[in-house]
Amino acid sequence: MPRLIPPVVAPGFLASSPQPTIPVAENLVLRPWAEADAPVAVEAFADPEIQRWHFQRLDSIDEAHNWIAGLGRGWDAETSANWAIVDTTTDLPIGRVGLTRVELVGGRGEVSYWLLPTARGRGVASRSVIALACWAFAHLGLQRLELKHSVDNPASCRVAGRAGFDAEGTMSQALFHDDGWHDMHLHARLRPGC
Ligand SMILES: CC(C)(COP(=O)(O)OP(=O)(O)OC[C@H]1O[C@@H](n2cnc3c(N)ncnc32)[C@H](O)[C@@H]1OP(=O)(O)O)[C@@H](O)C(=O)NCCC(=O)NCCS
C-alpha cells in the first residue's frame, strides 16, 4: 500500500553504513561491541542491578558471543543500535548505551543503558546518552527519542534529566518485573536538541 508521506529517515540508512565510533569525553567513546568484549558482558550481567532492570543474565562466554552477535544483527535489521561505552585508556567497555525500538520511517527510537558498578556515580551514563542523542538527531536524523524507566529507579530518572530528556508523564503498570508490575516514567528529547 503506498505511503502518503515520506519517511523521516530513509530505510537502509543504518544498514548501508558501518556503525560509527562516537566521542563522548576525554578517554571515553562509544564503539560497537566486539567479540573480545564477551568477558566484560558476562561480568556486567552478573550484577544484580543490571539483572533487575534489564531482565537478563549471561552464563557463559558463548552466551555473551551470541548476545554481541545479536547486537550486530539489530544494526543490520535497523531495529536497534548498541554501543559499548569504552575507556580508551584500556579499550575495555565500562557500560552499554543504545537505541531500541528504532523506527526510521517514523523518526523515533528509545534509549537504554547500563554501567558496570565501578563506572557509576561520575556522570558517565548521562554524558554517554547525550553523545548518542546528538548522533541520533544530527547524523541519523531521528525526530524523537524516548527514555523509559521504572519509578523505582531514581538514578535512571536523574540520568534522563541530566541528558535533557523532559518528563512527559507516568505510564501505569507498563512493565512486568520479577516483583510485579512497575509504573514507568516516560521522558523524551526532540530534535533539534544538540
Ligand atoms: C542508572 C545508571 C546507568 C546511572 O549511571 P551513572 O553514570 O552512575 O549516573 P550519574 O553518575 O550520571 O548519576 C546519576 C544521578 O543519580 C543519582 N543516584 C545514583 N544512585 C541513586 C539512587 N540509588 N537513588 C537516587 N539517586 C541516585 C546520582 O547521585 C546522580 O545524581 P546527580 O545528577 O544529582 O549527581 C547506573 O546506576 C546503572 O547502570 N544502574 C543499573 C542499570 C540501570 O538502572 N539501567 C537503567 C535502566 S532504565
Would residue 124 count as lying in a domain?
A: yes
- Given a cut of 70, whether residue 4 has pLDDT beyond it is yes
* CB-based contacts of 26, cutoff 8 Å, min separation 6: none
| The pTM of the whole model exceeds 0.85 | yes
Residue 98: CA count within 13 A, CB half-sphere: 24
pLDDT band at 21 (very low <50, low <70, confident <90, very high): very high
Q: Is residue 139 part of a domain?
A: yes
Tell me which residue has cell 531521528.
142
> 90 is in which domain, residue-wise?
22-146
- The answer to whether residue 117 sits within a structural domain is yes
**Measuring from atom 43 of ligand 1, which residue has the nearest CA?**
114
Establish if 152 belongs to a structural domain: no
Tens of pLDDT, residues 149-165: 999 999 999 999 999 99
Q: 14 — phi, psi (to 5°)?
A: -75, -50
- Using DSSP's 3-state secondary structure scheme, residue 64 falls into helix
Q: Omega into 7 within 30° of 0, i.e. cis?
A: no
Query: pLDDT tens across 70-129, in order?
Result: 999 999 999 999 999 999 999 999 999 999 999 999 999 999 999 999 999 999 999 999
> What number of other Cβ atoms are within 10 A of residue 96's Cβ?
24
Q: Is 192's pLDDT higher than 80? A: no
Instruction: Map residue 180 onto helix, strand or coil.
Output: strand
| DSSP for 127-139, written as a single string | HHHHHHHHHIIII
Number of domains within the chain:
1
Quick check: is 9 in a domain?
no
**pLDDT at residue 146 greater than cutoff 80:** yes
Q: Give the residue, by CA position, lying nearest to ligand 1 atom 23.
A: 155
Average of per-residue pLDDT across 122-147: 97
pLDDT of residue 2: 87
Residue 193 reports pLDDT greater than 80: no
pLDDT at 25: 97
| CA-128 nearest atom, ligand 1 | 7
Residue 116 CA: which ligand 1 atom is closest? 39
Residues within 6 Å of ligand 1 by CB = 49-50, 53, 113-115, 120-126, 149, 153-156, 158-159, 162
* For the CA of 122, the nearest atom of ligand 1: 11
Which tens digits make up the pLDDT trace of 26-80?
Answer: 999 999 999 999 999 999 999 999 999 999 999 999 999 999 999 999 999 999 9
**Does residue 93 sit within a domain?**
yes
Q: Is residue 95 part of a domain?
A: yes
Amino acid at 138: A
* CB contact at 8 A, 143 and 116: no
Distances in whole angstroms, Cα of residue 185 to Cα of each of 33, 55, 61: 28, 18, 34
Mean per-residue pLDDT, 173-191: 97
- Is 163 a member of any domain? no
- The domain spanning residue 62 has which CATH number? 3.40.630.30
Residue corresponding to grid cell 512527559 = 168
